[in-house]
């Protein structure tokens, strides 16, 4: 279902407008991160697509840890005996400021090249999966955790750290909602 708008009413309930109709709620939490730009007005958030790929298992993989390259625009890590690599948004910032889930030839080619030239130069590898996700970014790196209007809250702009800080953002949102009621 696609949500196109969320609004507080004068009676204190929240109404979400969706492609299948209206949904009413006592409280609503918008936690769609980079996809929130179209739902919430006057909030500093922009979508930032992240493209990722993971290799098939590599026998005797010696790389262990998490690594960042070119000011964090690229990152890679081992996941057991595989390499997960992502990034490359810096190659096309305007093109990657999107809510479209897809992988592009430009970034896929660069991620493969980095794997081949720098990470696994003497090791044959195959890509097993690739995907994209939408991060939420803005002028500040600090997440937005706030009440937008009566009983409408948001926890967004996690800046690529959603997995790492998502549970903390959820906890802070629940505390905020409890304090407000």
Query: What does pTM read for this prediction?
Result: 0.86
126 and 147, same structural domain?
A: no
59 and 30, same structural domain?
A: no
CA angle 164, 169, 175 (to 5 degrees): 150
Q: 27: domain CATH number? A: 3.50.50.60
Domain count, the chain: 2
- Give per-residue pLDDT as tens, 106-137: 999 999 999 999 999 999 999 999 999 999 99
Distance of CA 135 to the CA centre of its chain: 3
Percentage of residues of the chain with pLDDT beyond 90: 85
87 and 60, same structural domain?
A: yes
* Mean pLDDT of the residues in the chain: 94
129 and 63, same structural domain?
A: yes
164: containing domain? 3-43+140-180
DSSP for 32-90 reads -GGGGGGTSSS---EEEEEEEEEEPP-TT----SEEEETTTTEEEEEETTEEEEEE-GG
Instruction: Identify the pLDDT of residue 140.
Output: 93
104 and 58, same structural domain?
A: yes
Q: What is the mean pLDDT of residues 24-43?
A: 92
Is the alpha carbon torsion for 177, 179, 180, 181 positive or negative? positive
């Amino acid at each position: 279902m696609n949500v196109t708008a969320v609004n507080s009413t004068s009676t204190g309930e929240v109404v979400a407008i969706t492609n299948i109709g209206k949904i009413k709620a006592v409280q609503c939490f918008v936690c769609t991160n980079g996809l929130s730009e179209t739902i919430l007005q006057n909030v500093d958030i922009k979508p930032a697509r992240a493209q990722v790929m993971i290799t098939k298992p590599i026998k005797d993989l010696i790389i262990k840890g998490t690594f960042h390259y070119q000011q964090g625009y690229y990152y890679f890590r081992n996941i057991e005996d595989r390499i997960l690599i992502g990034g490359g948004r810096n190659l096309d910032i305007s093109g990657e400021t999107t809510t479209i889930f897809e992988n592009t030839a430009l970034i896929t080619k660069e991620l493969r090249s980095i794997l081949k030239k720098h990470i696994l130069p003497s090791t044959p590898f195959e890509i097993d999966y690739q995907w994209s996700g939408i991060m939420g970014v803005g002028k500040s790196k600090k997440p937005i955790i706030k009440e937008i209007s009566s009983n409408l809250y948001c926890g967004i702009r996690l800046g690529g750290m959603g997995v790492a800080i998502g549970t903390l953002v959820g906890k802070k949102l629940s505390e905020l909602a409890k304090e407000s009621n």
